Structure 1
Amino acid sequence: MTSFRISRRAAVAGALALALGGAGVALAQAPAFFRIGTGGTAGTYYPIGGLIANAISGQDGKGVPGVVATAVASNGSVANVNAIGGGASESGFTQSDVAYWAYTGTGLFEGRPKVQDLRVIATLYPETVHLVARKDANIKSVADLKGKRVSVDEPGSGTIVDARLILGAYGLTEKDIKAEYLKPGPASERLKDGGLDAYFFVGGYPTGAVSELATSTAIALVPIAGPEADKLLSQYQFFAKDTVPAEVYRGVAETPTISVNAQWVTSAKQPEDLVYRITKALWSPDTRKLLDGGHAKGKQIRPETATTGLGIPLHPGAEKFYREAGVLK
């Protein structure tokens, strides 16, 4: 956390120096603040957001001159989409399913105003559905969650949406479990202390909260597979089959599951040139080094998959870059 704060201050200082570098142009070149709503600090969104924020901030001749980007912890996908729609944030990370529902006014956003200005900067990486259980809880299937103490994440997160869909595919609702509403960090602590049997988490593996838990507590990942999962995949096209390899988490065997895409989204109201320059900085060689070396999931953030599984339109600035780069034809 300390190193991130230091780098963020460096980003601010660098951008301000650029803005004030020429006499008489300080006001004309005032820094543009670009927040990135992420998720809980124990998940994957937060560290990835920190890497990207540092990469695109204009400092040391790198990033986007005049831009100060910051990664902001939040309640996750739904909260980030709402913040963008309400003008409280310039951008944020979200699951592709949540973005689609917000844009179309369906699913979780049924009966609510559509977030029609929502636009994609990039598809980032697959987000794996984790169903983490204490090994001694003897939970072999989602169906075994009946009567168990299970956290489905906080209201406003993308995880809680998918947890409800998965429970439903196996004939369960929140009324069939002893539901709690915790982020992965607190959920891990509760499971470790014996106060929880299992919890849902959607995010790129390995995630810090689960990795840390596995070093002190015998855990298992519950498979999300079989005819119930197949029906879920056919019903919701934003889901895809996925597998968590063996020993990604200590002592945990290879586990079949499902995933959605993590996306970086913004508003159509953000200037085209600004988003073009931010997108260009995202795929620069300097950013590549930060992503590859900064987090295991960073290696999966690739330009060739940046426009896959979108569900909603690209921002015109991002689209311009991808066409120039040959990613889009």
Structure 2
Amino acid sequence: MNKKHTLYKILVGLLFTYSLFAVCIHGVFVAKAENSKKDENKWPAHLRIVTGPKGGQWFQMGKPLADALSKDVLPSSSRSGGGLSNINDINNNTADMGFTLACFLGAAQSEEPAYQHIAMKNVTMMSNIYPQVFYVLVREDFAATHNIDSMEALLAQKIPLRFASLKPGTASEFMLNMLLQHGYNTSFEALKEQGWQISFSDYAEIADRFVDGDIDCFAYTAGTDVPLIRTLEEHTQPRILPLSPEVLATLSKKFKTRTYTIQPGTYKNVTKPILTLGDTTCLIIRKNIPDSLAFAMTKAVWENRKAITEVIKDFGSISPETAMTEGLPIHPGAKEFWETLKK
């Protein structure tokens, strides 16, 4: 009788413990669901994506990115932009998501006074996407005439050299400025005094002028596999200039940039490895976006990567292993998604 009574007490105790555990677990899920619902009430009605100059890779990825977010998260639209202007728009709440380069974030965290104006209070990362490469293209006929086989040889030219890059506020113009000032101790003003004719425009116009022989040099940043360079090669011969290893090391230390090697065969005119400035294209979002929305946006980008990669091949480099950079801020919702994938 005592044994039966003891067994009965044990069973009652187990049932009570199980019931208490179930109630607690249910309470956790209910609380989480309620918090998520409250969080979703803070979602905007529409997502605004800022990309890059017309004709560039960022601009081309805008539509498939907006389509992915519209399908899986919220109605979304994209518009042109630039690496620096995108940061400002997101910081000022006039955009929700956009492309930029990691070097902008590194520069903002540096002690260089020239970059303290980069407003990062409301800006955080969603993900690294793919390696970004800085290209200095010189027409082959011009390079051969003036014995230009490196960036140093180009900068030494004291002639009416016609040089072009993308407009101020773009990633290309920012990286070029950084390279000239902190890498080669020169500037646009100093080069103009050497006789250079410097202009800024968009990809399409500069490419047309390069092919027509109206400019001698085109410097800009893009991915590792650039359709624009292949198009130029169909009409003219662009020579890609290497940069100094010492200069690249200096920039890496100051701004967390990288060194990138363009391998032979990547483009028709590349017959030996070319050392140049490297960085990372990344997606940034507003810091004040709810965690649940940031998680959903990151998830949509990841799950629709195939469609975006069909437009720009470089997008296929996105990966949970490389999505986050130590030392650069990332949104908690995006971080949660990437860490979930890595488990």
**TM-score for the superposition, normalised by structure 2:** 0.76
Q: CA deviation at 1:208?
A: 3.1
Q: Is this contact kept in 2: 1:102–1:108, CA < 8 A? A: no
Q: Aligned runs of 1:92-103 on 2, under 5 Å?
A: 92-102=98-108
Kindly state the Cα deviation for residue 220 of structure 1 after the two structures are TM-superposed: 0.9
The CA deviation at 1:54 is: 1.9
Distance 1:84 1:193, change over 3 A: same
Q: Is the 8 A contact 2:59 2:80 kept in 1?
A: yes
Q: Which amino acid aligns with 1:142?
A: M
The answer to whether the Cα contact below 8 Å between 1:81 and 1:102 also exists between their aligned partners in 2 is no
**Structure 1's 103 and 228: CA in aligned 2 closer, same or farther, altered over 3 A?**
closer
- Which protein shows a greater Rg? 2
> How far apart, in 2, do the equivalents of 1:172 and 1:140 lie?
19
SS at match of 1:216: coil
After TM superposition, which residue ranges in structure 1, 4 or more long, deviate above 4 angstroms? 28-31, 102-108
Distance change >3 Å, CA 235–CA 317, structure 1 → 2: closer
For 1:323, give the aligned amino acid: E
2:136: which partner in 1? 131
1:115-194 to structure 2, matched below 5 A, reads 115-138=120-143, 139-143=148-152, 144-145=154-155, 146-147=157-158, 148-168=161-181, 169-174=183-188, 175-176=190-191, 177-194=196-213
Which residue identity does 1:241 align to in structure 2?
A: T
User: By percentage of residues, which structure has more helix?
Assistant: 2
Q: Which moved more, 1:195-204 or 1:44-53?
A: 44-53
Count of residues in correspondence between the two structures: 288
> Paired residue for 1:304?
321
Among all aligned residue pairs of Structure 1 and Structure 2, give the percentage whose two residues are the same amino acid.
23
Displacement of 1:269 in angstroms is: 1.4
- The residue identity in structure 2 corresponding to 1:136 is D
Q: CA deviation at 1:106?
A: 4.9
For residues 301 and 142 of structure 2, the distance between their equivalents in structure 1, rounded to whole angstroms, comes to: 43
Q: Does 2:230 correspond to 1:211?
A: yes
Report the counterpart of residue 271 of structure 1 in structure 2.
Answer: 290
TM-score by length of 1: 0.79
Corresponding residue SS for 2:129: strand
In 1, the alpha carbon distance for the partners of 2:120 and 2:79 equals 21
Asked if structure 1 preserves the Cα contact closer than 8 Å seen for 2:138 and 2:238, the reply is yes
User: In the alignment, is the contact (CA less than 8 A) between 1:215 and 1:250 conserved in 2?
Assistant: no
CA shift in 2, pair 1:170/1:81, >3 Å: same
Say whether 1:200 aligns with 2:209. Answer: no
Residue 125 of structure 1, CA deviation: 0.9
Cα distance in structure 2, aligned partners of 1:152 and 1:258: 16
Q: Distance in 1 between matches of 2:178 and 2:42?
A: 48
Decide whether aligned partners of structure 1 residues 170 and 103 sit closer, same or farther in structure 2, where only a CA change above 3 A counts: closer
Task: Give 1:23's aligned residue.
Answer: none
Counting only pairs closer than 5 Å after superposition, residues 4-83 of structure 1 correspond to structure 2 as: 32-58=45-71, 63-64=72-73, 67-74=74-81, 76-83=82-89
Higher relative contact order (CA 8 A, sep 6+): 2
* C-alpha spacing 1:158/1:289, structure 2 compared with 1 (3 Å): closer
Q: Check conservation: 2:91, 2:119, Cα contact below 8 A.
A: no
Secondary structure of 1:323's aligned partner: helix
| Closer, same or farther: CA 107–190 of 1 in aligned 2, 3 Å | farther
| Whole-Å separation in 2 of the counterparts to 1:101 and 1:170 | 17
1:223 to 220, 231, 242: 242
Q: How far did residue 183 of structure 1 move?
A: 2.6
Q: Say which of 73, 94, 101 aligns to 1:88.
A: 94
What is aligned with 2:340?
A: 324
- Cα deviations by residue, 1:164-207 (Å, 9 ceiling, x for unpaired): 22223234321224321123322211221212111211111322
Q: What's the Cα RMSD here?
A: 2.5
Change (3 A) 1:301 1:324: closer
Distance 2:130 2:211 in 1: 29
Which of 236, 248, 252 is the aligned partner of 2:270? Answer: 252
The letter of the residue matching 2:262 is V
CA offsets 1:9-51 (integer angstroms, 9 cap, x no match): xxxxxxxxxxxxxxxxxxx999831121110122111223333
Structure 2 residue runs without a partner (length 5+): 1-40
The structure-2 alpha-carbon separation of the partners of 1:80 and 1:107, relative to structure 1 and needing over 3 Å to count, comes to farther
